């Protein structure tokens, strides 16, 4: 894994942490494992599909990735058990550099 991969994985965490906070999961790791199970079984709920489309749109806009690359990164991210590292980085960054304005609507401000 190179630095570029880590940037993309961190971006995935930045997008999915707010999605996790709106979910019924108690931990981010459980959210990621649930997403991994759904992806592996091919049985995605409406919310999971919506979240993945939103995530894919973000990755396409920020990194100019095509749909195959986006799918590969999403599967790699949810397949690994290092979600906690990226989660802690997102939480730390949000605490040290808080988003100005209403943090709950950050995705609307970025138009994703």
Angstrom CA distances, 25 to 31, 46, 47, 86, stand at 6, 16, 13, 17
Does residue 112 form part of some domain?
no
Distance between CA 49 and CA 90 in Å, rounded? 23
Residue 63: Cβ within 10 Å count: 14
> Domains in the chain: how many in total?
1
Residue 78 token pair: 């949810």
User: In the chain, what is the greatest distance between 2 CA atoms, to the nearest angstrom?
Assistant: 39
Does residue 96 form part of some domain?
yes
Cβ pair 54, 15 in contact under 8 A: yes
pLDDT digits (tens, 9 = 90+) for 2-47: 889 999 999 999 999 999 989 999 999 999 999 999 999 999 999 9
pLDDT digits (tens, 9 = 90+) for 43-71: 999 999 999 999 999 999 999 999 999 99
Does residue 8 form part of some domain?
yes
Residue predicted with more confidence, 83 or 14? 14
Q: Which domain holds residue 82?
A: 3-107
Identify the pLDDT of residue 112. Answer: 47
Residue-averaged pLDDT of the chain: 87
Residue 106 predicted with pLDDT over 70: no
């Amino acid at each position: 894994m190179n630095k570029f991969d880590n940037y993309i994985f961190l971006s995935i965490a930045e997008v999915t942490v707010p999605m996790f906070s709106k979910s019924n999961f108690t931990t981010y790791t459980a959210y990621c494992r649930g997403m991994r199970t759904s992806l592996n079984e091919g049985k995605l709920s409406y919310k999971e599909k919506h979240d993945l489309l939103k995530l894919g749109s973000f990755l396409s806009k920020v990194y100019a990735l095509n749909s195959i690359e986006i799918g590969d990164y999403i599967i790699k991210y949810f397949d690994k058990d290092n979600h906690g590292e990226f989660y802690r980085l997102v939480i730390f960054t949000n605490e040290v550099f808080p988003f100005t304005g209403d943090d709950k609507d950050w995705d609307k401000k970025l138009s994703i």
